[in-house]
Amino acid sequence: MQIRHLLVSFAVGVAVLSPLGAQPVAVGPNIRVKDLGRFQGWRENALVGYGIVTGLAGTGDSPSNQATRQTLANVFSQFNLTLPPGQIQSRNVAVVTVTASLPTFAREGDTLDVTVNSAGDARSLVGGSLLLTPLKAPNGKIYALAQGPLAVGGYRYDANGNVVQKNHPTVGSVPAGAVVEVSTGSEVAGSSQNLTFVLAEADYTTASRVAIAINAQLGQTLAKAKDASGIEIAVPETQRSQLVAFVARLENVAVQPDRRAKVVINERTGTVVAGGDVSIARVSIAHGDLKISITTQNSISQPSVIGSAGHGVRTAGVANSQVDVGEEGGPGFLASGTTVSDLVQSLSRMKTPTRDVISILRAIKAAGALHAELIVQ
């Protein structure tokens, strides 16, 4: 058995460390405003529908599924064919739910990608086709119609108790399988003739910089940061008839966004992602290995007597155990005003495993020496 242990001690050196405000600020690239967020009113709308998939090779819902039989009877009734649901026995059909996302400014005739999910006990949707399915929004109105053959990235075949399956054959998609029937119009500028730009990541510094950059580009004070995520922009009266050109001009304003110091750790894959300028205070790290080895040797004790053995004398098994404990001197590291990037490089040169690097970073955060938000996935 091998036990790895980490010892992290936090050393405070007032005379050695410089104040946080004296740290140099890293200069990042300028980013367009359109890459930092969106204008309020731009959003996608969820659509959902209930339909049926036909053409399956015996892998559909079982005949005992009443929802499938009732749905198929309703479909037949639309073609003047009346059948009681109890007389429908087919494993070539499956009831499904259909979902899609209606983008902003969608117009009649636009196509959407749809996702089809089995809602019954079908074993596979491979080879099936989706019948005409209306897609509704939460308000109950139909905005698109979906239909077409399914593309399934998996399969399932079974015979005589043997099953071969790949991925999830009960989920498929229909690329460009839905046609928009009702257009969606979004008002970017409200009745007050103001635009509101919403940052994807709320940050007061970035919001202030966006407002300053827009005012500098337009040559007048039109933008004002309302909070950490919203910047309100007044539309000049001369630009209200040319709103598209005005918004395009706003989108191309270059801004240097600020960002919070973060270290992202994925323990499942052993991945550590951090900004190169994430700082670490003065800290001492000692890394060692404690190895415990337990060896057991079994032997047989056979009594050797002359003549007949006495009462209770018998052959017995003897176990001889030996425990060896060895502690190897591991590498040490002293960080003084360094960054996470420098620490990871130094640990890599010492051939420290990635799992141990993750444990070291978590221990440094617990010691209060890591000046960043630690995110464990």
**Which amino acid, residue 176?**
A
Rounded CA separation 282/12 (Å): 7
What pLDDT, on the 0 to 100 scale, is given for residue 10? 32
In this predicted structure, what is the pLDDT of residue 282?
75
For every one of its 377 residues, what pLDDT tens digit does the chain have, with 9 covering 90 and above?
A: 333 433 333 332 322 233 333 333 445 678 899 899 888 878 888 999 999 999 998 888 988 888 888 888 888 888 888 888 878 888 899 999 999 999 888 889 999 999 999 998 888 899 899 999 999 999 999 999 999 999 988 777 766 666 777 777 889 999 999 999 988 766 665 555 788 899 988 889 999 999 999 999 888 889 999 998 899 998 888 888 888 888 888 989 999 888 888 888 887 777 778 776 777 777 776 656 544 444 556 677 666 655 555 666 667 666 565 555 454 555 555 555 577 777 777 777 777 777 777 888 888 888 888 888 888 77
Output the pLDDT for position 161: 63
In angstroms, the CA 66 to CA 160 distance is: 27
Q: What are phi and psi of 311, to 5 degrees?
A: -70, 130
Phi and psi, residue 52, nearest 5°: -140, 140
> Can you name the residues that pair with 297 across neighbouring β-strands?
320
What pLDDT was estimated at residue 89? 81
Pairwise CA distance, residues 29 & 27, whole Å: 7
- Torsional class of 80: left (φ above 0), alpha (ψ -120 to 50), beta (otherwise): left
Rounded distance between C-alpha atoms, residue 244 and residue 230, angstroms: 20
Residue that the structure tokens 């630009």 belong to: 239
Which residue type, as a one-letter code, is found at position 162? N
Rounded to 10°, the helix 204-218/243-251 angle is: 130
Count Cα atoms within 13 angstroms, Cβ side, for 265: 20
pLDDT at 100 (0 to 100): 95
- Residue 14 is predicted with a pLDDT of 26
- Quote the pLDDT of residue 298: 64
Enter the tokens of residue 247: 């918004």
pLDDT score, position 176? 93
Q: Which long-range contacts (CB under 8 A, 24 or more apart) does 208-213 make?
A: 209/255, 209/256, 209/257, 209/258, 210/33, 210/36, 210/253, 210/255, 213/33, 213/253, 213/254, 213/255
Neighbours of 99 (CB within 10 A): 14
Q: Between β-strands 262-266 and 271-274, what pairing exists: parallel, antiparallel or unpaired?
A: antiparallel
pTM over 0.75: no
293 residue type, one letter: S
How open is the CA angle 346-348-352, to the nearest 5 degrees?
Answer: 110
SS3 128: coil
Contact 369, 17 (CB under 8 A): no
What is 108-132 written as a DSSP string? TT-EEEEEEEE-SS-S--TT-EEEE
Residue 160: its pLDDT value, please?
Answer: 64
**Residue of 193, 195, 188 whose CA lies nearest to 240:** 193
Instruction: Please tell me the distance from the alpha carbon of residue 327 to that of residue 4, in angstroms, as a whole number.
Output: 10
Cβ(56)–Cβ(91) below 8 Å: yes
Q: Give the model's pLDDT for residue 342.
A: 76
Angle at 334 between CA 328 and CA 340, to 5 degrees: 110
What percent of the chain is helix, strand and coil (3-state, nearest 5)?
20, 40, 40
Q: What does the pLDDT read at residue 54? A: 93
pLDDT of residue 28: 61
